[in-house]
Amino acid sequence: MNTRLLPYVLILPVTLFLCVFFVYPFILVAQEAFVADGALSLDNFRRVFGHWKFPLSLRNTLLLAAAVVPVQLGLALLMATMVNRMGRGRDLVLYIWTIPLGISDLAAGIIWLAIFEQSGFLNSMLHGLGLIDRPVNFLSYQHPGIVFLAIMLAEIWRATAIMLVILVAGIGLIPKEYYEAAEVFGATPWKRFLRITLPLLRPSLQTALVLRVILAFEVFAVVAALGGTLFPVLMGQTFVYQFELLDRGAAAAIALVILGISIGFTLVILRVLRVPKGARI
Amino acid sequence: MAEIQIRNVAKRFGEYQALRDINLTVADQEFMVLLGASGCGKTTLLRIIAGLETPTEGEVWIGERRVDHLAPRDRGIAMVFQNYAVFPHLTVFENIGFGLRMHRLPDEEVRKRVHRTAELMHIEELLGRYSGELSGGQRQRVAVARALAMEPDVILMDEPLSNLDALLRLEMRAELKGVLAESRTTAIYVTHDQVEAMSLADRISVMHQGRIVQAATPVEVYRNPAEKFVAGFIGNPPMNFLPARSVGEGQWEVAGITLAGPRSDRPGLDFAIRPEDVTPDPAGLAARVRVVEPLGPHLLVTCDVDGHMFRAILDSELSVAPGETLNLMPRPDRIRWFDPETEKAVS
């Protein structure tokens, strides 16, 4: 076969697959969002933006992402550094730390619900210790802070491992001699982390952050399980429009809003963490 | 002032004994080369001095301080790595200034020292570039400049020229020697290249199987190898060996001729002579020529003497062909003798 054509032939199946199951549905969704009553219009967006829950769910989504992602980044970096320094047992620890990755987000939400609900572990523990007389309903409208905290904890528990895995691989790619050189030339362990690990980890940090931030804007099941209607988020609103209000146009519009935010943040992350040409390993 | 003392240092990696009972003193401002084949422990010893490995036993002293329990950064050393380890995410300027910044020198001082060492290594025009935009030779210069900028008491070099091509290596070798002599630091330099060792060193420590076999000046190591290993390792081609049988009164029979040697009660010794220390002489060793290699300034002749391989470096005007027999007389003052059991030199 013609060697010039071969690469294109080889990527044809996956291109077709993506076109049929990604590009085509995406076009349909976009069409749905921008068309109302058979004509091109922004009515769907107006309706979505005009609803009193939209600013609230937008704020909640951004707030949650802002609270969760930095903590996860810090934790993942700490854990990755620790794993990287381990000799024996390294793989075992890594497997255990990545277990939450294998659990669906709804299941994760339910696990944390079992801790925080009125008859949950937290209440029985506090009662057992004599700190409370009767069970407290932590996940109620009276304790918005605790609802937020519970969602944050569940998200951190559930999705830190995805960053960890990427960062462990990235740290493993940094040649050992850079650390030795830094050590000889006077860098303390903390300085080595700041001046060698972090800058050389930029490509992996990009991937991990982009992935994690996008997932954070799509947060849904954990919030549904723990917060219910107390803590509306964008993806939850999409679900409500589509399946409860049966308003497909609005659901499509809000889905595009989420996509837009994700693309925006991705571009910012890629820009901030870019590696200058010639400065790559 | 930094004299380096290594006292009874040993290093084990699990079952493997990488270094055993190393004792070595490197004088202030001396250029010491650790020379040996791969796996002899030379890099391990250098890394122990740097603090990148801890010795299993023994002590390391730099100047008046015992340093083997100190972190590398507290030892007053700088190092040039085999693969340069020039940081890819920093410019050449920041690479050279890295150690200075880590020691919190004021910006002005950093700038001054970076420019001075960059000038010394002829890389002033590269200061704004990243390592990915440099050639191997330029990276090498950056690595050396980074070490020199520290103005360290001791500079350690781990095969710094081994990744350069032959011509560049020759150039850098001469330059390195000049720069280091000027900087008046104590230097320890690891290499497996004996020509490099001979040309750079004040003293060479020849290492073999985790031991220092001989530590002496290049000429001494070449002329008077302390052990048969050194005689067979140094020199290209290395020394020739022939078995010698005692005929009493310090006389030894070597491949049919009688030569004066040490008075020893051993029945046999190993006779050794460098290829360039033989001359054609009818009374010499009968050597059957196998291969003749004209190398320009001289001829390298590989012969067979009494069933043993024997190489001679002869005048290029001599006409000799394979199959002929030469008679080669060793220069009496250049003959060396080794005990075949202990492999040590006998005099």
Question: Structurally, how many domains does chain A consist of?
Answer: 2
**B28 pLDDT tier (thresholds 50, 70, 90):** very high
In a domain, A163, yes or no: yes
Segment B95-127, tens digit of pLDDT:
999 999 999 999 999 999 999 999 988 899 999
What was the pLDDT predicted at B167? 84
pLDDT tens track for B132-144: 899 888 999 999 9
Is A123 in the same domain as A179? yes
- Same domain? B226 vs B256: no
Of A92, A9, A69, A3, which is closest to residue A216 (Cα–Cα)?
Answer: A69
Measure in Å the smallest separation between the Cα of A191 and chain B Cα atoms: 8
The verdict on B157 and B214 lying in the same domain is yes
Q: Residues B192, B41: contact at Cβ < 8 Å?
A: no
Mean pLDDT score of chain A, rounded to an integer?
A: 89
- At A236, give phi and psi (nearest 5°): -60, -40
Q: Interface pTM (ipTM) of the complex?
A: 0.85
B86 → chain A, closest CA residue: A178
Residues of chain B neighbouring A275 (CB-CB closer than 8 A): 89
pTM above 0.90, yes or no: no
Q: How far is B79 from chain A (nearest CA, A)?
A: 7
Per the CB < 8 A criterion, the answer to whether B150 and B95 are in contact is no
Q: Percentage of chain B surpassing pLDDT 90? A: 71
How do strand B31-35 and strand B203-208 relate by DSSP bridges?
parallel
The answer to whether B261 and B271 are in contact (CB under 8 A) is yes
Q: Give chain B positions within 8 Å (CB) of A180.
A: 52, 72, 81, 85
Pair A26, A108 in one domain: no
- Tell me whether residue A103 is exposed, middle or buried, using C-beta atoms within 10 angstroms of its C-beta: 0 to 12, 13 to 18, 19 or more: middle
Quick check: B73 and A178 CB within 8 A? Answer: no
Interchain proximity B71–A183, CB inside 8 Å: yes
As a whole number, mean pLDDT of residues A153-175 equals: 91
Same domain, B149 and B292: no
Q: Measured between beta carbons, which residues in chain B are less than 8 angstroms from residue A177?
A: 81, 83, 85
Of A175, A186, A279, the CB nearest to B73: A186
What number is the average pLDDT over the span A158-177? 91
**pLDDT reading at B1 higher than 80:** no
Same domain, A13 and A75: no
Mean pLDDT of chain B, nearest integer: 91
Domain of residue A71, residue span? 52-272
- 3-state helix/strand/coil string of A111-155: HHHHHHCCCCHHHHHHHHCCCCCCCCCCCCCCCHHHHHHHHHHHH
Confidence tier at A87 by pLDDT (50, 70, 90) = confident
B139 and B222 together in one domain: yes
Q: Read off the amino acid at residue A60.
A: N
If contacts are CB pairs under 8 Å, which of residues 30-49 in chain B contact chain A? none
Are A131 and A174 members of one domain? yes
Q: Pick from B185, B209, B232: which residue ends a domain? A: B232
| Set of chain B residues whose Cβ sits within 8 Å of the Cβ of A183 | 51-52, 71-73
DSSP secondary structure, B257-276, as one string: EEEE----S-SEEEEEE-GG
pLDDT in tens, B183-195: 889 999 999 999 9
Same domain flag for B90 and B119: yes
Torsion (CA) B181, B183, B189, B193 in degrees, nearest 10: -40
CB contact under 8 A, B85 and A180: yes
Of A185, A188, A199, the CB nearest to B150: A185
State which of B171, B202, B232 marks the end of a domain: B232
Residues on chain A touching B133 (C-beta within 8 angstroms) = 278
* Statement to judge: residues B169 and B135 lie in one domain: yes
B32 — pLDDT class (breaks 50, 70, 90): very high
Contact B291, B301 (CB under 8 A): yes
* Among candidate residues B207, B232, B257, the one where a domain is terminated: B232
Q: B39 with B63: CB under 8 angstroms?
A: no
In this structure, what token pair is assigned to residue B312? 């001679």
- Model confidence at A13, in pLDDT bands (50, 70, 90)? very high
CA-wise closest residue to B339 among B209, B255, B243: B243
Q: What is residue A171's predicted lDDT score, i.e. its pLDDT?
A: 92
Q: Are residues A148 and A22 in the same domain?
A: no
Query: DSSP assignment, residue B91?
Result: B
**Which CATH number is B106's domain given?**
3.40.50.300
pLDDT digits (tens, 9 = 90+) for B271-299: 999 999 999 999 889 999 999 999 888 99
Task: Tell me the residue range of the domain where B274 lies.
Answer: 237-346
